[in-house]
Amino acid sequence: MIQHHAEAVVLRSWPIHEADQIISLFTRDMGKIKGVAKSAAKSRRRFGGALEPTTYVRARYTERPKQELVRLDSFEIIRSPLSAPVDYGRAAALAFFVEILEETLPDHDPQDDIFRLLIAVLEQTRVDSIWMPVTYFALWITRLLGWLPDLSRCSVCGERLAGSSSYFDAAFDGLFCERHSPGAGHGSVDGAAGALSRRAVLSADSLALAVRIFRTPASALVSEAWPRSRAADLRRFAVQSLERHLERRLTTAVALLRLGGA
Amino acid sequence: MSQFAEPMDRLIEALRKLPGIGAKTAQRLAFYILRSSAAEAEELADAVRQLKARLRLCSSCNNITDIDPCVYCSSATRSRRSICVVEEPGNIAVIEKTRSYNGLYHVLHGALSPLNGVGPEDLRAGSLVGRVQRGGVEEVILATNPTVEGEATAVYLAGLLHSLPIRVTRIATGVPAGSDIEYADEVTLARAMEGRRDI
C-alpha cells in the first residue's frame, strides 16, 4: 500500500452503504482520483466539513493494490467554499467548474496547469463576483484541454480578426470573418444561407478581452467591473466549444443561463 | 442468456435500482425473499403497494403523509406563528427528536443544485410565500443543510421573504455537543465563533 499526502480539491461525493461516501478528488500530484471515505457521514473527526465540493484540502490517502478506489484517510481544509457567503449564483459558478473537470479530466492524469487554474478561480468566486472567474475558467480550460481554436484569424480564409466583430456557431470549430461565417451563403463555412444559422457575434471588445485573459492572472482582473453582460458572448463561445467536444449540454451552463450571464 | 429464471431476474433488476444496492446485494436480497415464506413476501409486497397507494404530500407543508393535512399541520397544540423550512421530509423527524420546536414545517423536497439541474423554479418555495402571506406567521426558520447548496437555498428563500413583515432566521452552526474542539474543522469553528452568545 502506498500512502500519499497531497493538495487536492473535492469535486463530488456520492453516499454508499450506511455512512460511507465515494469522493471524486482532483489532486495536484495524481490528477483526478476516486476514493472511499469510510464513515464520513457519521464521524466528523477525519473529514469535518471538508467533503463539500470545491473544498481545497490537504488530503491523506492510501492506494491499495488491485483496487481502483483509494482509501481516504483524512482531509485538512486549506480553503472552504463555506468560508464566504453563498448564493445561487456562486453555487452555480462553483458547480460549473466541477462539472467541466468531472467531464473532461481522465483519472490518474496529473494536470498542474489546470489545478492552478482551479485554485485561482475558486479564490476569486464570490457572491458579488462570479462572471469574471466563470469567463476566465471557461476560456482557459478550453485552451488547456487543447480545444481552443486560433482566435486571431478566420478559420476559413485566415483573415485577421482583431479590431472587428467575428462570428461563431455551436456546430463549427473556430471563429469566422463575416463573409465565411455560418449561414452567410455561398463561400461560408457551411455553404448555407442565413435562415437556419445559429451563428453568434463575438464583439471586438470581447476578442481583445480574451487576449488579455491569456496574459493576465485572475487576481489582476477581479478589481475591474464585471456585470453579467460583460463578455457574455465570449463565455458563450467558450461554453459552446466545450459542449461541442463533450457532445452534450452542460447542466451548469443552463443554470448560468438562468442567471442571465452565459 | 440470463443466469436466473425470469421472475428472479426481474426482482434483481428492480432491487438494483434502489440507492446503495449493487448487483451482488440485489442478488442476496432476492434470494432471501425467495427463501422466505409466502406470507412474509406478501407482507413486503403489500407494504410497498400501500406506500405508493396511501402516501401523498400534505397540501399545506409538502410533508409525506397518509392524511391531509398532515399531523403537524392539523395539530391543535402546535404554534402557527413559526414555520421551519427543511430540505427533506426526513429532516422533520430529526428536529422533532429535539423536542425544542413546536411550530409548523415546510418541506422543499430538495435544495438548489446547479449540478443536478435543480433551479429556483423546481423548489416548492411559492407555496411557502403563500402560507406566510395568508397571515399569522411571525417567523420562518431556514433549516436547510449547512452545505453550499443548502446555504444558497437559504439565501434564495430569505430574498423571497424579505419584503414580508416577518422575522427570517437561519439555524446556527457550530461545534457538536459532546465533541472535542481539537477535532472541529476550521469552517465549523469559525462559524461557532461568529455565532457566540453571552452567558
**Interval A68-84: pLDDT, tens:** 899 999 999 999 999 99
Q: What is the pLDDT of residue B20?
A: 76
Q: What is the pLDDT of residue A188?
A: 67
**Predicted interface score ipTM higher than 0.90:** no
Q: What is the pLDDT of residues A170-184, one digit of tens each?
A: 888 888 888 888 776
Q: Give the ranges where A105-203 is alpha helix by DSSP (H).
A: 112-124, 131-144
CATH architecture of A2-83: Beta Barrel (2.40)
Helix (H) or strand (E) holding B94: helix B89-98
Quick check: A164 and A175 in contact, CB under 8 A?
Answer: no
CATH 2.40.50.140, chain A: domain bounds: 2-83
Bridge partners, B173 (sequence order): none
Whose grid coordinates read 461563431? Answer: A168
Quick check: A189 and A156 in contact, CB under 8 A?
Answer: yes
Are B183 and A48 an interchain contact pair (Cβ–Cβ within 8 Å)?
yes
Q: What is the pTM of this model?
A: 0.88
User: What contacts B107, CB < 8 A, 6 or more positions away?
Assistant: B57, B61, B62, B63, B64, B86, B87, B88, B89, B91, B92, B124
A83 touches B: beta carbon within 8 Å: yes
Q: Is the pLDDT of residue A193 over 60?
A: no
Cα(B87)–Cα(B107) distance, integer angstroms = 6
Cα(A26)–Cα(A231) distance, integer angstroms = 28
B87 touches A: beta carbon within 8 Å: no
**Percent of chain A with pLDDT strictly greater than 90:** 65
Q: What is the pLDDT of residue B3?
A: 79
User: What contacts A76, CB < 8 A, 6 or more positions away?
Assistant: A50, A57, A58, A59
Q: What is the pLDDT of residue A186?
A: 60
Q: What is the pLDDT of residue B195?
A: 86
Mean pLDDT score, A216-221: 94
A98 touches B: beta carbon within 8 Å: yes
SS3 call for B73: helix
B174 touches A: beta carbon within 8 Å: no
- Amino acid symbol at A120: A
Domains recognised in chain B with CATH numbers: 6-54 (1.10.8.420), 67-198 (3.40.1360.10)
Pull the grid cell for residue A92: 452555480
> How many other C-beta atoms lie within 10 A of the C-beta of residue A107?
11
In a structure prediction context, what are the per-residue pLDDT tens digits for chain B, which is 199 residues long?
567 899 999 999 999 999 878 889 999 999 999 999 999 999 999 999 999 999 999 999 999 999 999 999 999 999 999 999 999 999 999 999 999 999 999 999 999 999 999 999 999 899 999 999 998 999 999 999 999 999 999 999 999 999 999 999 999 988 888 888 887 888 888 889 988 889 9
Q: Using CB atoms, which residue from B117, B148, B156 is nearest to A251?
A: B117
Q: What is the pLDDT of residue A185?
A: 67
Query: A123 or A20: whose pLDDT is higher?
Result: A123
**Residue A191 to chain B, least CA–CA distance (Å):** 36
- Nearest CA-CA partner of A21 in A10, A43, A34, A36: A36
Whose grid coordinates read 480564409? Answer: A157
Contacts of B24 in chain A (CB under 8 A): none
User: What is the DSSP code string of A246-261?
Assistant: HTS--HHHHHHHHTT-
Query: A116 or A163: whose pLDDT is higher?
Result: A116
| Window 92-131 of B, Cβ < 8 Å to A | 112-117, 119-120
Contacts of B116 in chain A (CB under 8 A): 251
CATH 1.20.1440.120, chain A: domain bounds: 84-262
User: What contacts A50, CB < 8 A, 6 or more positions away?
Assistant: A10, A57, A75, A76, A77, A80, B185
- Nearest CA-CA partner of A117 in A253, A217, A15: A217
DSSP structure class, residue B104: E
What's the length of chain B? 199
What's the length of chain A? 262
Q: Is the pLDDT of residue A191 over 70?
A: no
SS3 call for A194: helix
Q: How confident is the model at residue A243 (pLDDT cuts 50, 70, 90)?
A: very high
Bridge partners, A9 (sequence order): A26, A56
Q: Is the pLDDT of residue A66 over 80?
A: yes
**Percent of chain A with pLDDT strictly greater than 70:** 93
Quick check: A47 and A60 in contact, CB under 8 A?
Answer: no
User: What contacts A47, CB < 8 A, 6 or more positions away?
Assistant: A37, A40, A72, A74, A75
Q: How confident is the model at residue A252 (pLDDT cuts 50, 70, 90)?
A: very high
Beta strands in A107-253 (DSSP E): 166-169, 172-176, 200-202
Q: Is the pLDDT of residue A189 over 70?
A: no
CATH superfamily of A84-262: Recombination protein O, C-terminal domain (1.20.1440.120)
**Residue B149 to chain A, least CA–CA distance (Å):** 7
Pull the grid cell for residue A214: 491569456
Cα(B73)–Cα(A257) distance, integer angstroms = 38
Average pLDDT, chain A: 89
Quick check: A37 and A51 in contact, CB under 8 A?
Answer: yes
A43 touches B: beta carbon within 8 Å: no
Q: What is the pLDDT of residues A14-45, one digit of tens each?
A: 888 778 899 999 999 999 999 999 888 776 67
Cα(A236)–Cα(A202) distance, integer angstroms = 9
Cα(A198)–Cα(B161) distance, integer angstroms = 40
Q: Would you tell me the crossing angle of helices A232-246 and A131-144 to the nearest 10 degrees?
A: 40
Helix (H) or strand (E) holding A49: none
Are A50 and B185 an interchain contact pair (Cβ–Cβ within 8 Å)?
yes
Contacts of B185 in chain A (CB under 8 A): 44, 48-50, 77, 80
Dmax over CA atoms of chain B, in Å, equals: 71
Are A16 and B187 an interchain contact pair (Cβ–Cβ within 8 Å)?
no
Q: How confident is the model at residue A194 (pLDDT cuts 50, 70, 90)?
A: low
Nearest chain B Cα to A53, which residue?
B148
Q: What is the pLDDT of residue B1?
A: 59
> How many other C-beta atoms lie within 10 A of the C-beta of residue A65?
6
Q: What is the pLDDT of residue A204?
A: 92
